[in-house]
Chain A
């Protein structure tokens, strides 16, 4: 079955600390992977995406993610968190099959940042 698991429902970090948000997926075909961020009361914004090539991808706002096929993971990282990074983060997977136009979504990880 196709699924995305974000094991951490809620994470709290101190400002300036490093961050890693976990994402594991189960997908039968070549995965296209995404991280989205949702600030309070806002819509979802794409942080970064992986389609092919270099398994370490850079995104906006200083985020990066690493695709590890052997571990079926696509973890999101940031070296130094800012208070403005407090938000909900969603991992999603899609494919390149001919009729596949949907994304499979994780339930999200809520990030709180302590000053």
Chain B
């Protein structure tokens, strides 16, 4: 049981380049999330997917797109990277339903630097 996995672990981009961060979970969770973490700002939700086939914006969606490929996988795409997107990105998943427990399980993170 790998839990939540993320690839890559580290990435350096130049301004304007694009890339996709991959996330997969093997816990049969229906909800998945992308966060960014910056010093002093805690965790900020970028996008989330409450179930396969649905996605919704979080607090800071600008400059990002997501795809819920199937129940296991949720990818985050930067179409044209900017230095302001330098951050640590975390993917999380949760078993939500009735009753909803909202306990989220996190991946190890991707450390992204945009030059």
Contact = CB atoms under 8 A, between A and B. Distances in A.
Given A43-B109, A101-B96, A90 B42 contact: yes
Residue from A45, A94, A102, A105 with most neighbouring chain B CB atoms (10 Å): A102
B90 interface: yes
Interface residues of A, number: 26
Interface stretch (B11-19, B62-70, B72-80, B100-108): B100-108
Top 4 closest pairs, chain A to chain B, by CB = A94-B102, A107-B42, A43-B106, A44-B106
Contacts of B96: 101
Interface of B: 4, 31, 33, 40-43, 45, 48, 50, 58, 90, 92, 94, 96, 98-109
Interface string A37-73: 0000011111001010000000000000000000000
Residue from B42, B90, B109 with most neighbouring chain A CB atoms (10 Å): B42
A43 B42 contact: no
Given A43-B106, A101-B48, A96 B99 contact: yes
Contacts of B58: 102
Contact of B102 (A9, A45, A103): A103
25 contacts: A42-B108, A42-B109, A43-B4, A43-B106, A43-B107, A43-B108, A44-B90, A44-B106, A46-B103, A46-B104, A46-B105, A49-B103, A94-B100, A95-B102, A96-B100, A98-B98, A98-B100, A101-B31, A101-B102, A102-B45, A102-B48, A102-B102, A103-B102, A105-B43, A107-B41
A32 B102 contact: yes
B101 A106 contact: no
Contacts of A105: 42-43
